[in-house]
């Protein structure tokens, strides 16, 4: 093999690595990449090391490194911890992502797993989008309930909420009324009244929930 052919092989390897990086930057993980870039930028502004920020946020340096490189989806609890360590609001981590595009594309199973009040084993909340700097606050969730539970927390917040059932059957409470929802059913309601699942009738249960609130304080 001649030196020239060796050089060509090296160029091909470089092109392959570049192609892989471009492929990695698909819409499925662009949110994680944008969050990671913001976390790194805020950390460097404070002249802090990865180890220092990780310690402040009660994370391992390895986990923080993965977050900064867009290799993992941080939970809402993790983002809150990082916001405290870096002294910025949680929404600051989404700014770069929102500034660069007006659409959010999330591949199946790639929503941002977050923790909400009542989150437990078998109760999964996946955030499918997030508005920042808009006149209204909109968050669509894919919610999966796969385990029996005797007690469910009731949620209550400003704005309205829309639920569309995809699978299973659930008794859903809104204020003093209950509704039996199965695949294809929907429920649209004022969210300032207590609401939430009251009885899991047929598991597994999966539904879309879209929360729309007037723009208020940073969260």
* DSSP code per residue over 190-216: ETTS-EEEEEEEEEEEEEEEEEEEE--
The CATH code of the domain that includes 172 is: 2.60.120.10
- Which of 105, 138, 169 is the last residue before a domain boundary? 105
What is the total count of domains within the chain?
A: 2
Q: What is the dihedral of CA 79, 83, 86, 87, to 10 degrees?
A: 180
Q: pLDDT class for 125, splitting at 50, 70, 90?
A: confident
156: Cβ contacts below 8 Å, ≥ 6 apart: 191, 192, 193, 194, 195
The CATH code of the domain that includes 25 is: 1.10.260.40
- Which of 105, 127, 157 is the last residue before a domain boundary? 105
Same domain, 88 and 155: no
> What is the gyration radius of the CA atoms in the chain, in angstroms?
21
Same domain, 125 and 219: yes
Q: How many CA atoms lie within 13 A of 197 on its CB side?
A: 29
pTM: 0.52
Same domain, 101 and 157: no
pLDDT digits (tens, 9 = 90+) for 135-189: 788 889 999 988 876 557 788 888 999 999 999 999 999 999 999 999 999 999 9
pLDDT digits (tens, 9 = 90+) for 55-96: 999 999 999 999 999 999 999 889 999 999 999 988 889 877
How far apart (Å, rounded) are the C-alpha atoms in residues 23 and 31?
14
Domain that holds residue 212: 116-219
């Amino acid at each position: 093999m001649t030196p020239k052919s060796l050089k060509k092989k090296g160029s091909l390897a470089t092109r392959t690595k570049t192609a892989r990086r471009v492929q990695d930057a698909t819409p499925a993980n662009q949110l994680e990449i944008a969050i990671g870039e913001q976390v790194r930028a805020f950390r460097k502004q404070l002249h802090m090391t990865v180890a220092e920020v990780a310690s402040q946020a009660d994370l391992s340096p390895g986990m923080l490194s993965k977050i900064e490189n867009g290799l993992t989806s941080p939970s809402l609890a993790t983002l809150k911890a990082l916001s405290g360590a870096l002294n910025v609001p949680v929404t600051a981590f989404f700014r770069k992502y929102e500034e660069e595009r007006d659409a959010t594309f999330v591949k199946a199973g790639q929503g941002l797993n977050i923790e909400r009040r009542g989150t437990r084993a078998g109760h999964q909340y996946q955030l499918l989008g997030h508005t920042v700097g808009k006149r209204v606050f909109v968050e669509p969730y894919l919610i999966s309930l796969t385990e029996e539970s005797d007690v469910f927390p009731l949620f209550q917040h400003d704005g309205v909420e829309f639920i569309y059932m995809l699978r299973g059957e659930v008794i859903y409470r809104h204020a003093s009324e209950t509704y039996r929802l199965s695949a294809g059913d929907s429920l649209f309601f004022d969210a300032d009244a207590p609401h939430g699942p009251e009885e899991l009738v047929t598991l597994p249960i999966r539904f879309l929930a879209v929360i729309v609130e007037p723009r208020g304080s940073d969260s």
